[in-house]
């Protein structure tokens, strides 16, 4: 079985959304210094690296990440080749969506560096494409940079989240061929939080 780890590596010099807190890891105990074990303190924003948005991210009073149905994030997935596109509009997805299958959008953004600085030329989903996803019974959608939407991300996020579609951002798909896979993406279970980092993998027989 082939396994692809499609998660970003959390590290201090990693790229984050402008204005978000950088990832920090601070040793709090080291065996070399006489401690009984190695321990570290982590500090990061809730949308650091590969992460999942909860409905609460854009809808006040909606479900937080600990209430998200994990069945939306486990199941068959299609990696859709969307390279060469500046934005992903509805025509780019027509005929490529299947109920119960999670579309993972592979774009030129997968070639962008995981480290700073942030790049604002990332590929994103248009409002019309988000509406198409909502109309096709999609349970989740993933993309390969830190936001599925352009800089004004509210309409796209709201369309998806209000339709019950889980949003996965920050995937790494550069080395994954287009095709069908088994997808597993599990966000950290943080009570009351608007999103959480996740480990995402693809499996293929």
Cα angle value 180/120/132 (rounded, 5°): 45
**Structure tokens of 75?**
């199941």
CB 205 within 8 A of CB 4: no
Give the torsion through C-alpha atoms of 94, 120, 200, 49, to 10 deg: -160
**In a 3-state reduction of DSSP, which class is residue 174?**
coil
pTM: 0.96
The domain segmentation of the chain, as residue ranges, is 2-6+46-204
pLDDT at res. 56: 97
pLDDT at res. 192: 98
pLDDT at res. 153: 81
Residue 205, Cα to own-chain centre: how many angstroms? Answer: 24
CB crowding 174-190: b at 16 or more within 10 Å, else e = eebeeeebbbbbebeee
CATH C-level class of 2-6+46-204: alpha beta
| Distance (Å, whole) CA 170 – CA 105 | 11
Band (pLDDT 50/70/90 cuts) for residue 151 is confident
pLDDT at res. 116: 84
Q: What is the mean pLDDT of the segment spanning 110-129?
A: 95
Judge whether residue 109 has pLDDT over 90.
yes
Q: What is the mean pLDDT of the segment spanning 58-64?
A: 97
| Distance (Å, whole) CA 142 – CA 108 | 14
- Residues listed for the chain: 205
Which sequence positions are flagged as catalytic? 57
Alpha helices (H) along the chain = 90-93, 127-135, 154-162
pLDDT at res. 147: 97
Write the pLDDT tens digit of every residue in 43-56: 999 999 999 999 99
| Distance (Å, whole) CA 175 – CA 92 | 21
């Amino acid at each position: 079985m082939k396994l692809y780890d499609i998660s970003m590596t959390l590290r201090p010099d990693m790229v984050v959304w402008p204005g978000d807190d950088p990832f920090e890891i601070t040793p709090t105990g080291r065996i070399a210094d006489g401690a009984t074990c190695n321990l570290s303190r982590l500090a990061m924003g809730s949308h650091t690296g590969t992460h999942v948005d909860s409905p609460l991210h854009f809808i006040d009073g909606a479900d937080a990440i600990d209430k998200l149905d994990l069945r939306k994030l486990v199941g068959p997935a299609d990696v859709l080749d969307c390279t060469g596109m500046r934005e992903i509009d509805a025509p780019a997805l027509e005929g490529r969506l299947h109920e119960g299958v999670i579309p993972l959008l592979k774009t030129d953004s997968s070639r962008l560096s995981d480290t700073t600085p942030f790049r604002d030329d990332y590929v994103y989903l248009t409002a019309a494409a988000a509406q198409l996803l909502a109309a096709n019974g999609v349970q989740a959608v993933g993309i390969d940079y830190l936001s599925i939407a352009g800089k004004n991300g509210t309409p796209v996020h709201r369309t998806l989240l209000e339709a019950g579609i889980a949003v996965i951002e920050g995937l790494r798909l550069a080395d994954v061929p287009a095709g069908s896979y088994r997808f597993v993406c599990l966000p950290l279970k943080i009570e009351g939080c608007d999103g959480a980092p996740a480990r995402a993998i693809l499996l293929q027989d």
